[in-house]
Structure 1
Amino acid sequence: MFAVFRTGGKQYKVAKNDIIRVETVPGSTGDLVEFTEVLMIGDGADTTVGKPLVAGATVAAALLDQVQADKVIIFKKKRRHNYRRKRGHRQPLSLLRVVDILTGGKKPDASTKDAAKAAAEAGAEKHAKAKETAATVTGAKRKPVAKKAVEAKEAAPQSASKGVAKKKPAAKKKAAAKKSEE
């Protein structure tokens, strides 16, 4: 079963247990969010299209986290006028897991709310692990660099004493050699 609903000026096609990012929805982690602007519902070969909305249909979702999208750079320039402006923007988003698609005027019951809390807890754990691994990949938890630099300086004189060839003296320039011949 799938549903198409509208929120934040955009339309989303979802099925049960899908995780989506939508424009910011008010609430905190673990809250149950209901979307009543359902445009279409499909179940196999049976599809119901609303005119404009499907009557009595709702999409229930668990709010996993409030996140931000990737940074978008806005750069304005007017040539030959020394005018340059650089701005950045990160759109606030809500991370949702679809818990249930309800039809026929049904409202979310206690089991749906419990499923939303369980989904939010499981999603929050996965999201926290993903943030942690992303932080280590980007280098947020870097080790001190000073020790490596000191070790490298100590290692350099040892390699020179092991019989590594020294640099040859620079070759004489041809111009100087010609003057000396004359």
Structure 2
Amino acid sequence: MFAIIETGGKQYRVEEGLELNVDLLKADAGDALSIDSVLLVDKDGDTKIGAPYVEGAKVECEVLGHLRGEKVVVFHKLSKKDSRKTQGHRQDYTKLKVNSITA
């Protein structure tokens, strides 16, 4: 059984027991989290597609913690101007573990 959920403007394919990193959520480590924005649920070939979300479907998750992604270096250079600018960015993530999928 798997589901496709939407969180943080992105879509993820999840199964029970899966651990995944999503954009930062306002939740503490150890909290239980319920995601209601389920786009698709498939159970043994029986597929339910939402318009836009499947009614009554939700994914129960547990927040394992928060982490930061790899550093991305942004370098701007204007040729013939002797102008340079270096900037870095690290994205914040929340690590989730999927406990159950209900349809």
**Structure 2 length-normalised TM:** 0.97
Q: Deviations over 1:103-128 (max 9, x none)?
A: 2xxxxxxxxxxxxxxxxxxxxxxxxx
Question: For residue 77 of structure 1, what is the amino acid of its counterpart?
Answer: K
Q: Which has the higher strand share?
A: 2
Structure with bigger gyration radius:
1
1:24 to partner: Cα distance: 0.5
Quick check: which one's helix share is greater?
1
Give the C-alpha shift of residue 77 in structure 1. Answer: 0.9
Match of 1:23 in 2: 23
Q: Percent identity between the aligned chains? A: 35
Shift of residue 8, structure 1, vs aligned partner? 0.3
Structure-1 residue corresponding to 2:13 = 13
Q: Which runs of 4+ in 1 moved over 2 A?
A: none
Partner of 2:78 in structure 1?
A: 78
Total equivalences in the alignment = 103
Offset at residue 91 of structure 1 (A): 0.3
Q: Distance in 2 between matches of 1:88 and 1:46?
A: 46
Q: Which amino acid aligns with 1:85?
A: K
- In structure 2, the gaps of 5 or more residues are none
User: What is the alpha-carbon distance in structure 2 between the residues aligned to residue 13 and residue 90 of structure 1?
Assistant: 24
Deviations 1:71-119 (A, max 9, x none): 111111110111111111110000000011112xxxxxxxxxxxxxxxx
- Output the CA distance in 1 between the equivalents of 2:80 and 2:62: 52
Please say if 1:48 is aligned against 2:41. Answer: no
* Unaligned ranges ≥5, structure 1: 104-182
Q: Pairwise CA RMSD of aligned residues?
A: 0.7
